């Protein structure tokens, strides 16, 4: 095998992997956050969950990409571990489509697929056409790469060394290790199976020898999910363990069967005359049979994963941390499901921030009404938490928005930036209200009973305003009207209370007037920021009800 053939082999592998990446990125840009809605609807049923996992994997030609998506969803809290089981099982079924297509010689149509995909990108202006064009073009490039690899391997038919090496693959352990290692390196079982099919088509390896390599590829493909789980929470790591358990159990089972019974010979008799078809049939049988076998035991698999990775008691119970936003590896752009993970994490983190803000508004008015600074430390601690969350959320948004290709999701993400800033400003006004108590306490001052009654009214209306924006997804056009009316009420209350203050000063002048005037200003500004949040949320689609996935 000379240098030219080696370069053709590497180039073909590069095109194969790039084609899969194009398909994945195209689907991510086309689907965006709508992928979340599909999974929410279908993963509650194990059969539908398996079908969804198989369908997504069949489209993007990569069980690794699907499993990485699942790990991300579990990590962000969008999916439970037991829902993830069915998607992972389905991904292993869906990954067999590549081998089936190769055995059917669909690669002959690869140039047509590539042309149609590029035409959709070049000649159509609609963004969705571009995204789906990438999916179709990626499929064409994938098979062009497979054709290049096939041509590059033809000289190996004359290599005695390579023929002897392939003969050694009859050793189950060696075959599994070779398949596992090679797949772990290139991170694609579809590519590994395709290469085995190419070797078999050229007469370089027989099915009895190839089966163990096939089994090893299923374990090797787990490396991508393992790498994706680094730095994630416990549940996400358990999803990776389930992926590993599935393929290890299947490999052990089929290895025993192949050693004890003539399964490869049976496949050769059922699919005569087509080496690629025999490889595809064995790969499909492995994944479907393992799925059917383990389908009734999905809950036990999840339980076993929980026992392997038991829950750790966290010592970071402080509020000053991100609970729902997880790091996104933007260096590997367009991982399928990224938009859904980002939006779900931001939505949950902002709702948490809104609840913390609501509690601090209540507590800050409480400090003023009590007239003591006993609870001020806790209020200050919460305000620092809000500052921290705003800083981290804003930084996260700045990092991910440049990688977002779906326009609707990009609009949602930028809207969240505004919401975070307004929540932080509400927190600032709330802490201002509480800190007036410190100054007044040092000077031995206290608000009059009449002023306290008005402050109680401010607290009640402020809490009503905060409740109208919690949760954020509940803000509709109708609710926005209520928020606007309440904001106007807060403005009117401010004017009336200023007039009342002037009347009190005329009869009983005191130094608290300055602090009361500032408190009224903060009260009014809280209403302004609540209205800002309502206006932003009412202009974006509700996250819990995104548009259905479609090609239009």
**Confidence at 256, pLDDT banded by 50, 70, 90:** very high
278 shares its domain with 405? no
Q: Which domain holds residue 174?
A: 3-304
Q: What is the reported pLDDT for 314?
A: 45
507 shares its domain with 425? yes
**Confidence at 355, pLDDT banded by 50, 70, 90:** very high
pLDDT at 438 over 90: no
Q: What is the reported pLDDT for 335?
A: 58
> Mean pLDDT throughout 59-81?
74
Of 504, 513, 381, the residue nearest 443 (C-alpha): 513
- Asked if the structure places residue 319 within a domain, the reply is no
Q: What is the reported pLDDT for 157?
A: 58
94 shares its domain with 36? yes
Q: What is the reported pLDDT for 552?
A: 30
Q: Which residue has the higher pLDDT, 401 or 427?
A: 427
Which of the residue ranges 53-67, 150-164, 407-421, 489-503 would you say has the lowest mean pLDDT?
A: 150-164
**Confidence at 549, pLDDT banded by 50, 70, 90:** very low
- Asked if the structure places residue 194 within a domain, the reply is yes
Of 49, 21, 248, the residue nearest 145 (C-alpha): 21
Q: What is the reported pLDDT for 512?
A: 84
Q: What is the reported pLDDT for 327?
A: 63
Q: Which residue has the higher pLDDT, 330 or 455?
A: 455
297 shares its domain with 351? no
Q: What is the reported pLDDT for 236?
A: 81
247 shares its domain with 353? no
**Confidence at 431, pLDDT banded by 50, 70, 90:** very high
Q: In the structure encoding, which two tokens stand for residue 60, read together?
A: 């993007």
179 shares its domain with 41? yes
379 shares its domain with 291? no
Show which of 257, 280, 304 is a domain's final residue.
Answer: 304
Non-local (6+) Cβ contacts of 133 within 8 A are 26, 116, 117, 118, 119, 120, 121, 124
Q: What is the reported pLDDT for 231?
A: 66
Q: Which residue has the higher pLDDT, 13 or 307?
A: 307
Q: What is the reported pLDDT for 290?
A: 92
**Confidence at 544, pLDDT banded by 50, 70, 90:** very low
**In the chain, % of residues over pLDDT 90:** 24
Helix (H, G, I), strand (E, B) or coil at 256: helix
CA dist 210 and 236 (Å) reads 33
Which of the residue ranges 304-318, 477-491, 530-544 would you say has the lowest mean pLDDT?
A: 304-318
Q: pLDDT digit string (tens) for 281-327?
A: 998 999 899 999 998 988 898 889 989 988 654 433 446 678 888 76
Please count the structural domains in the chain. Answer: 2
DSSP-assigned states of every residue in 123-144: H---HHHHHHHHHHHHHHHHHH
- Asked if the structure places residue 329 within a domain, the reply is no
- Asked if the structure places residue 325 within a domain, the reply is no
Q: pLDDT digit string (tens) for 201-246?
A: 777 788 888 889 889 988 988 887 787 677 677 888 888 899 899 9
**Confidence at 54, pLDDT banded by 50, 70, 90:** confident
Winning range, highest mean pLDDT, from 228-232, 377-381, 425-429: 425-429
Helix (H, G, I), strand (E, B) or coil at 405: coil
Neighbouring CB atoms inside 10 A of 299's CB total: 12
Q: What is the reported pLDDT for 377?
A: 83
Q: What is the reported pLDDT for 518?
A: 93
Q: What is the reported pLDDT for 241?
A: 92
pLDDT at 523 over 60: yes
pLDDT at 528 over 70: yes
Q: pLDDT digit string (tens) for 397-409?
A: 888 887 766 777 7
Q: What is the reported pLDDT for 315?
A: 37
Of 410, 412, 389, the residue nearest 401 (C-alpha): 410
146 shares its domain with 251? yes
> Mean pLDDT throughout 394-420?
83
286 shares its domain with 374? no
**In the chain, % of residues over pLDDT 70:** 84
Show which of 304, 330, 359 is a domain's final residue.
Answer: 304
CB 473 within 8 A of CB 542: yes
pLDDT at 487 over 90: yes
Show which of 254, 283, 304 is a domain's final residue.
Answer: 304
- Asked if the structure places residue 269 within a domain, the reply is yes
Of 398, 393, 326, the residue nearest 353 (C-alpha): 393
Q: pLDDT digit string (tens) for 63-72?
A: 777 777 787 7
pTM: 0.60
pLDDT at 419 over 90: yes
- Asked if the structure places residue 311 within a domain, the reply is no
Q: pLDDT digit string (tens) for 152-209?
A: 766 655 666 656 666 677 788 888 998 888 888 776 777 778 888 877 877 778 888 8
Q: Which helix (H) or strand (E) holds 179?
A: helix 172-186
- Asked if the structure places residue 328 within a domain, the reply is no
Q: What is the reported pLDDT for 154?
A: 65
Helices and strands counted in the chain (H then E): 23, 0
CB 151 within 8 A of CB 4: no
- Asked if the structure places residue 320 within a domain, the reply is no
291 shares its domain with 415? no
Average per-residue pLDDT in the chain?
Answer: 81
388: domain CATH number is 1.20.58.220
């Amino acid at each position: 095998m000379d240098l030219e053939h080696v370069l053709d082999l590497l180039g073909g592998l590069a095109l194969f992997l790039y084609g899969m990446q194009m398909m994945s990125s195209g689907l991510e840009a086309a689907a965006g956050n709508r992928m979340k809605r599909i999974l929410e609807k279908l993963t509650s049923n194990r059969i539908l969950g398996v079908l969804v996992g198989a369908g997504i994997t069949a489209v993007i030609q990569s069980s690794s990409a699907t499993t990485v998506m699942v790990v991300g969803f579990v990590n962000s809290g969008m999916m439970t571990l037991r829902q993830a089981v069915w998607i992972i099982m389905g991904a292993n079924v869906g990954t067999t489509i590549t081998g089936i297509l190769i055995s059917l010689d669909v690669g002959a149509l690869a140039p047509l697929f590539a042309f149609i995909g590029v035409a959709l990108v070049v000649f159509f202006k609609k963004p969705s056409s571009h995204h789906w064009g990438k999916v179709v073009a990626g499929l064409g490039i994938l098979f062009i790469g497979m054709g290049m690899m096939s041509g590059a391997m033809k000289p190996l038919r004359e290599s005695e060394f390579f023929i002897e090496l392939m003969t050694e693959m009859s050793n189950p352990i060696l075959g599994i290790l070779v398949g596992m290692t090679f797949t772990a390196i290139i991170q694609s079982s579809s590519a590994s199976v395709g290469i085995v099919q190419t070797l078999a088509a050229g007469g370089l390896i027989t099915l009895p020898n190839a089966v163990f390599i096939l089994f090893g590829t299923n374990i090797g493909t787990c490396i991508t999910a393992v790498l994706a789980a680094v730095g994630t929470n416990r549940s996400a790591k358990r999803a990776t363990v389930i992926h590993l358990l599935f393929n290890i159990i299947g490999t052990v089972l089929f290895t025993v069967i192949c050693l004890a019974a003539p399964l490869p010979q049976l496949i050769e008799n059922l699919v005569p005359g087509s080496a690629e078809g025999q490889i595809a049939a064995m790969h499909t049988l492995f994944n479907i049979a393992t799925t059917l076998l383990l389908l009734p035991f999905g809950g036990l698999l999840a339980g076993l994963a929980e026992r392997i990775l038991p829950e750790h008691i966290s010592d970071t119970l402080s509020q000053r941390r991100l609970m729902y936003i997880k790091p996104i590896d933007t260096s590997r752009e367009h991982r399928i499901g990224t938009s859904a993970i980002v939006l779900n994490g931001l939505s949950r983190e902002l709702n948490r921030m809104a609840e913390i803000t609501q509690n601090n508004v209540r507590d800050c008015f409480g400090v003023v009404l009590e007239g003591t600074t006993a609870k001020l430390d806790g209020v200050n601690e919460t305000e620092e938490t809000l500052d921290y969350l705003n800083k981290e959320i804003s930084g996260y948004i700045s990092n991910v928005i440049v990688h977002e290709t779906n326009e609707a999701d990009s609009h949602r993400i930028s809207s969240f930036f505004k919401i975070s800033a307004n929540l932080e400003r509400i927190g600032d006004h709330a802490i201002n209200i509480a800190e007036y108590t410190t100054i007044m306490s040092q000077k031995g001052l206290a608000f009059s009973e009449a002023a306290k009654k008005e402050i109680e009214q401010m607290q009640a209306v402020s809490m009503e305003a905060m409740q109208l924006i919690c949760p954020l997804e509940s803000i509709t056009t109708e609710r926005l009207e209520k928020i606007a009316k309440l904001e106007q009420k807060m403005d009117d209350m401010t004017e009336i209370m200023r007039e009342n203050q002037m009347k009190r000063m005329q009869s009983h002048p005191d130094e608290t007037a300055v602090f009361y005037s500032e408190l009224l200003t903060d009260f009014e500004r809280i209403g302004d920021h609540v209205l800002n949040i309502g206006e932003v949320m009412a202009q974006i689609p509700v996250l819990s009800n995104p548009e259905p996935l479609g090609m239009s």
